[in-house]
Structure formats: structure tokens, C-alpha cells
Structure 1
Amino acid sequence: MSAQAKHGIVLMIMGVVLFFACTCAFFRWKIVAQVIACVTMLALTSVMVWAGWILFSVKVKKDA
């Protein structure tokens, strides 16, 4: 497995971890902080998963 594919997997895992962090924060924080945290976390999560998937799928296509 290349470094590019590993980076893709790490990005996807980080995105999922951020998503769970957002979910935990949502139940603990005040309303304003919840909204700010969730918008930020969901944006980061989607970018990380998307970038990770692209890195990973490009590598898999090259190997095939």
C-alpha cells in the first residue's frame, strides 16, 4: 500500500472521529456553541472523507 492510499485512509478515519466529537459536543455544549461546532465539524468531516476517498480511490485505480 502506497503512502497516498495510507493518507487517504487516515483522512477518512479522522473525518469519522471528528464526526463523533461533533456528536458528543452537541449534547454537552450551549446552543450557540453547538451550532458553531456542528457546522465547523461537519464541514471538516465532509472535506476529510471526500479528500481521503479521492486519494484512496486514485491509488486503487492505478493498481488495478
Structure 2
Amino acid sequence: MVMFWPIQQALNCITDDGRILGKIEFDIKTEQYVFCAEEVSVVLSSLEASQIEKRLADLHSGDYIMPMQDDD
């Protein structure tokens, strides 16, 4: 299972055992949400990949909105 934890205009993707897989961020150049792996060596299980793909699809469609942090 992957949990999505908002932090500084990104979503950390964390497994249920606390392993950070990476972040979902908004790429200003392409105007798309993208998953950025924490390390090059990160290998996602099929369940983890499908959960991340689902969250990306929800963000692209507007079904989910990424909470933004106001540091003021």
C-alpha cells in the first residue's frame, strides 16, 4: 500500500512500512504531474505502481487536488 503525504507542494509516496518511494510533483515545463523516484534504484511493485498511476490520473483529471502549503 502506498500512502500519499503532502509536503511543500509535492506528495511524498510512502509505503506502509515507511519506505519513501519518491514524490509526485507538478512539472511547470510540461504542465503535468510526474512521479520522481527517491533514488534511481527504487523498484516499484505492480501494486505500488498502479496506486501511484491512479493518484497521477486523479490529479490530472481534477478528482484530487494537491494541497499547497503557505509558508507565510
TM range (shorter): 0.3 to 0.5
Q: Normalising by the residue count of structure 2, what TM-score does the alignment of the two structures yield? A: 0.32
**Greater C-alpha Rg:** 1
Structure with greater strand percent: 2
Q: Normalising by the residue count of structure 1, what TM-score does the alignment of the two structures yield? A: 0.35
Structure with greater helix percent: 1
